[in-house]
Structure 1
Amino acid sequence: MAIAPAKLSDPVVGALVAAVNAHDKDAFLKLLTADATMSDDGFDRDLHEWIDREIFDSSGHMDVQSESDGGRALVVNYRTDTWGEMRTAWRFTIAPGGGRISRFETGQA
């Protein structure tokens, strides 16, 4: 059974999952630091190009299956119009002060 975004232990991560599922790019970007970075399957990617292609242009949706590390590590059934559904792992780094994500890493779980 999926964990609702509002039930995730880290509220910033929960808000990001909710923004993905609502297809709300503005809300998503507001949760990131200005210099946020990301990687996919161990390779750093251009954040803005990647989120457009892999989340917002392809109707990305996250069904969180489990969390660890205080809600900053997730196992997710992730689906898009492009790739269908896959099991993915996500890890988030929260910037000092706790309000925004400075890095996230994703890949197959």
Structure 2
Amino acid sequence: MTIQPAKLTDPAVRAFVTAVNAHDRDAFLSLLTENATMADDGSDRDLTEWIDREIFTSNGHLDVDNESQGGRALLAHYRNDAWGEMRTRWNFTIEDDGRISRFETGQA
């Protein structure tokens, strides 16, 4: 059963999923710290290149199946026009100001 984005526990993660699914790049970027980093399948990636390729130019969409660690870890079906749909995991590091300083994703 999918968890609706509005019902996700952590406010930053909720906003992240909402921005991805709305294809709202500006809202997405506003959630990140200035020096935010990310990794895909265990390898650090250039965040700007990755989000443009994997989310914003390829219609990325997250359907969250499960959350843990206070809402900062997700299991989700992720789909985009480049890769189709796959089961993925997402982990978030959130700073005291509520912004995301790192996220890691990969196949689950």
TM-score range, shorter chain: over 0.9
**Counterpart residue number, 1:54:** 54
**Counterpart residue number, 1:30:** 30
Distance 1:35 1:2 in 2: 31
TM-score, length basis structure 2: 0.98
CA deviation map 1:60-98 (0-9, x unaligned): 00000000000000001000011000000000000123x
Runs of 4+ in 1 over 2 A off after TM superposition: none
Alignment gaps of 5+ in structure 2: none
Q: How many equivalent pairs are there?
A: 108
Alignment gaps of 5+ in structure 1: none
Give aligned-pair identity as a percent. 72
Is 1:94 aligned to 2:94, yes or no? yes
Distance 1:30 1:2 in 2: 26
**Counterpart residue number, 1:6:** 6
Shift of 1:55: 0.4
